[in-house]
Amino acid sequence: MQPMETEDMQDLRKLFRIICSIALGATVFVASAETSTLQAAYKEFFPIGAAIATEKNGFDSLTRYPPELLAEFSSLVAENCMKPGEIEPAEGKFAWTNPDRIVAYAKEHGMLMRGHTLVWHNQSAQWMFSATGSADEKRAKTRDRLKTYIGAVVGRYRNDVYCWDVVNEAVKDDWDAGKWPSIYRENSPWFAAYGNASYIQDAFDFAREASPDAKLFYNDYGLCGASKRARTIEMIKTLKLKDHGLTGVGIQGHWNLSWPPVSEIQVTIDAFAALGLEVQITELDIDCYGNTPSEKGIPYAQVEDALAKRYAEIFACFRKNSGKITGVTFWGVADDHTWLDHFWLGVWHEGRTRKNWPLLFAEDGSKKKAYRAVVDFKENR
Ligand code: XIL
Which atom of ligand 1 sits closest to the CA of residue 168?
13
What are the C-alpha distances in Å from 319 to residues 10, 58, 195?
32, 36, 42
**Residue with the nearest Cα to atom 3 of ligand 1?**
339
Q: How many whole angstroms from 268 Cα to the centroid of ligand 1? A: 22
Q: How many whole angstroms from 77 Cα to the centroid of ligand 1? A: 12
Which atom of ligand 1 sits closest to the CA of residue 331?
3
> From first to last of its 381 residues, what are the pLDDT tens digits of the chain?
333 444 455 455 454 554 544 444 456 666 555 569 999 999 999 999 999 999 766 899 999 999 999 999 999 999 999 999 999 999 999 999 999 999 999 999 999 999 999 999 999 999 999 999 999 999 999 999 999 999 999 999 999 999 999 999 999 999 999 999 999 999 999 999 999 999 999 999 999 999 999 999 999 999 999 999 999 999 999 999 999 999 999 999 999 999 999 999 999 999 999 999 999 999 999 999 998 888 899 999 999 999 999 999 999 999 999 999 999 999 999 999 999 999 999 999 998 999 999 999 999 999 999 999 999 998 765
Q: Please report, for the chain, how many H helices and E strands are present, in that order.
A: 13, 10
**Residue with the nearest Cα to atom 16 of ligand 1?**
79
Which atom of ligand 1 sits closest to the CA of residue 116?
14
Ligand 1 pocket test: pick from 77, 122, 166, 335 the residue with the most ligand atoms within 8 Å of its Cβ.
Answer: 122
What pTM does this model have?
0.92
Which atom of ligand 1 sits closest to the CA of residue 53?
5
Q: How many whole angstroms from 228 Cα to the centroid of ligand 1? A: 19
Pocket of ligand 1 (CB under 6 A): 56, 79-80, 168, 252, 283, 339
Give catalytic residue positions: 169, 283
* 232 CA to centre of own chain: 18
Segment (H or E) for 249? strand 248-256
Give the N- to C-terminal CA distance of the chain in Å, as an integer. Answer: 36
Three-class secondary structure of residue 254 per DSSP: strand
Residue 230, class by beta-carbon neighbours within 10 Å (0-12 exposed, 13-18 middle, 19+ buried)? Answer: middle
CA angle, 350 then 286 then 87, to 5°: 50
